[in-house]
Amino acid sequence: DSVGVYDFIIVGGGTAGLVIANRLSEDTDTSVAIIEAGDLVFNNKNVSDVDGYGLAFGTAIDWQYESVPQAYAGNKSQTMRAGKALGGTSTINGMAYLRAQAAQIDAWEHLGNDGWNWKSLLPYYKQSEHFQLPTAEQCLAGAAYDIGVHGTTGYLKTGWNNGLLGENVTSLINATYTSTGLPYIQEPNGGSMRGFTRYPATVDRELNVREDAGRAYYLPVQNRTNLHLYTNSFVQRMTWDGASKNSTPRVDGVQFTDASGKQKTISAKKEVILSAGALRSPLILELSGIGNSAILQQHGIDVKVDLPTVGENLQDQTTGAGAYSSNTSFSGTADYVGYFSVADIFGNDTCDFNSTVRGSILQYATSVVEASNGVLDQKVMEKLFMIHYDLIFKDQIPISEILVTPGQDRMDFSYWGLLPFSRGSIHIQSNDSTTPAAINPNYFQLDYDLKQQIGTAKTVRKLAGSDALCEVVTGELSPGLQSVPLNASDDVWAKAVKAGYRSNYHYISTAAMMAQDLGGVVDTNLSVYGVDNVRVVDASVIPFQVCGHLTATIYAIAERAADAIKQRYY
């Protein structure tokens, strides 16, 4: 039965979806519905606790999707976490607010995305942001910034947590990172990220709670009568406008199961915006008849738009850990990060590594094309990989991130490669929307990814063994000298890296914004190719990995998408 007619329906009240909902409903004559599978979590301590990272994992607000067994990493599957709540994954994430390197956003323009570059995205980063200046004490503890790149009137509060680890610890960690030749940088969010710094978080410092998308973008506008929120409501598919005389297919609504378990349909007069996340939006496209016709037909779905790359190009990163015992106990928030370039990680071996990778591009493209069953194109992948290669070796943008958390009698490092080449996919396995998808990130499919991760693991050991830390660090707990002796071969390191990794939870590109002949799914306005009135606005559209963490960039993309939508209708 029909329960509502709206101008816009937003599927997924998550990080991106709530930005769109807020901006589109600014106009009181425009009606907007948000359909969110999860519930309100404003009173959930696992969400609000600023030191509660990980508490929500495995609870009802974690979708905890499972990947297929990973063929290049011991055939183990991986848990792919994502938030199921108003606010989406921003309710369970690590709260880091870190954007991207300018050159990598500029590279989007070379993928057929005219007008998408760092310069044009920066105003949207700023528009989304309400930067809280650090207190005097936080400044002493190393919180630094360039106000020119921050916004102060946006919805999203950013800044440093109360209870930061203090000045002495910062000096120690700074000395540790800079001993490897990495410079200290004051501002990681201005487009130039290489260096060691103390990064800001998405936090409401006054209330001392996490700043998630619900709190930032929904709470302040929840009383708008033209904004309707359906919670605990699971969208199955979009419905098609059979009466449309338009030659391009149009959708006219969505089907979902409501909070009481009833089947509902609501209508969209203008558009449906999919913001269900990179591990959901492509599935909703497929279930609606937009995707690879071979896959759709296999599951008995009518093909409305044959768009074979829906669900392809899935990219994630892999996280590793290094743990050390310490004779000192630290308590307080650690927001210490180092961003390393290829030369920082590989030193004198950078030239050799460069030649090896350059010589492997054709093979990388071939492997990825084969893994896609020929959906991706050899020449296109060579082109994309050359852009990727140039970012790493010519622009020397950061390739590795290393975080350190000084804790109780220990010091923990976590690290990941920022720019893996491997590409996977996500597809439906049935026309029943509740059947889990086949999610295959193809971790370590290509040897750059493994070599990069090994190089970064070795750098972690170097940091832990630096002169700066020698009075504090007393031994290596993990990976441990037993399993990975000093001077261990790369084969030994490879085993340890593959045995101990997890998903970095930075899934992107499953409905990539690119020219259609490069395999794009959405155009520069984030409209799905071949459909009149469907957009995807979430991590799915990000075509290449970013060096920062994802939300900062997703908020900016969503602000920009809202402008694009307004331009068409307002």
In this structure, are residues 158 and 202 in contact, taking their beta carbons and an 8 Å threshold? yes
Total binding residues for ligand FDA by CB under 6 A?
40
| Smallest separation, CB 286 to ligand FDA (Å) | 12
Contact pick of 6, 8, 9, 14 for ligand FDA (by CB under 6 A): 14
Q: Interaction with ligand FDA in 496-535: which residues (CB under 6 A)?
A: 505-506
* Enclosing H/E stretch for 366: helix 350-371
Residue 564 corresponds to which tokens in the numbers above? 């694009």
In this structure, are residues 99 and 191 in contact, taking their beta carbons and an 8 Å threshold? yes
Q: Does 415 bind ligand FDA (CB under 6 A)?
A: no
Q: Does 205 bind ligand FDA (CB under 6 A)?
A: no
- Closer by beta carbon to ligand FDA, 13 or else 479: 13
In this structure, are residues 252 and 275 in contact, taking their beta carbons and an 8 Å threshold? no
Contact pick of 9, 32, 37, 556 for ligand FDA (by CB under 6 A): 37
Place of tokens 């490897």: 180
* Enclosing H/E stretch for 515: none
DSSP per position, 409-473: SEEEEEEEES-----BEEE-SSSSTTSPPEEE--TT-SHHHHHHHHHHHHHHHHHHTSGGGTTTE
- Closer by beta carbon to ligand FDA, 92 or else 514: 92
Q: Give the contact letters, 459-498, x = binds to ligand FDA (CB under 6 A), - = no.
A: ----------------------------------------
Residue 144 to residue 456: CA distance in whole angstroms: 26
Residue 184, beta-bridge partner list: 196
Contact pick of 275, 319, 372, 414 for ligand FDA (by CB under 6 A): 275
Residue 426, beta-bridge partner list: 439
- Closer by beta carbon to ligand FDA, 95 or else 102: 95
Q: Does 36 bind ligand FDA (CB under 6 A)?
A: yes
Place of tokens 């893994």: 371
Contact pick of 13, 195, 308, 322 for ligand FDA (by CB under 6 A): 13
In this structure, are residues 398 and 194 in contact, taking their beta carbons and an 8 Å threshold? yes
Q: Does 157 bind ligand FDA (CB under 6 A)?
A: no
- Closer by beta carbon to ligand FDA, 371 or else 554: 554
* Residue 150 annotated to the active site: no
| Torsion angle of the four alpha carbons 288, 262, 214, 568, in this order, in degrees rounded to the nearest 10 | 40
- Closer by beta carbon to ligand FDA, 217 or else 389: 217
In this structure, are residues 458 and 493 in contact, taking their beta carbons and an 8 Å threshold? yes
Active-site annotation holder among 150, 228, 388, 549: 549
Phi/psi of residue 323, nearest 5 degrees: -120, 140
Interface with ligand FDA by CB under 6 A: which range of 100-108, 115-123, 274-282, 334-342? 274-282
| Residue closest to ligand FDA (Cβ) | 14
Active-site annotation holder among 110, 228, 388, 506: 506
- Among 516, 512, 517, 462, residue whose Cα is nearest residue 487: 462
Q: For residue 140, give the 3-state DSSP assignment.
A: helix
Interface with ligand FDA by CB under 6 A: which range of 33-41, 115-123, 453-461, 516-524? 33-41
- Closer by beta carbon to ligand FDA, 304 or else 549: 549
- Closer by beta carbon to ligand FDA, 12 or else 191: 12
* Residue 549 annotated to the active site: yes
Distances (CA, A) of 455 to 149, 319, 401, 411, 550: 32, 13, 12, 20, 24
Q: Interaction with ligand FDA in 253-272: which residues (CB under 6 A)?
A: none
Contact pick of 68, 276, 381, 404 for ligand FDA (by CB under 6 A): 276
| Smallest separation, CB 228 to ligand FDA (Å) | 14
Pairing of strands 425-427, 438-440: antiparallel
Distances (CA, A) of 412 to 409, 435, 478: 10, 38, 9
- Closer by beta carbon to ligand FDA, 341 or else 433: 433
Q: Interaction with ligand FDA in 69-128: which residues (CB under 6 A)?
A: 81-85, 88-90, 92-96
User: Could you tell me the end-to-end alpha-carbon distance of the chain, in angstroms, rounded to an integer?
Assistant: 30
- Closer by beta carbon to ligand FDA, 401 or else 476: 401
HSE (CB half, 13 Å, CA atoms) of 99? 27
| Smallest separation, CB 260 to ligand FDA (Å) | 15
- Among 56, 53, 55, 57, residue whose Cα is nearest residue 79: 57
Interface with ligand FDA by CB under 6 A: which range of 7-15, 219-227, 298-306, 446-454? 7-15
DSSP per position, 97-119: -----HHHHHHHHTTT-TT-SHH
| Smallest separation, CB 506 to ligand FDA (Å) | 6
What are the residues binding ligand FDA (CB under 6 A)?
A: 11-17, 35-38, 81-85, 88-90, 92-96, 234-235, 275-278, 280, 505-506, 538-539, 549-552, 554
Tell me which residues are annotated as active site.
506, 549
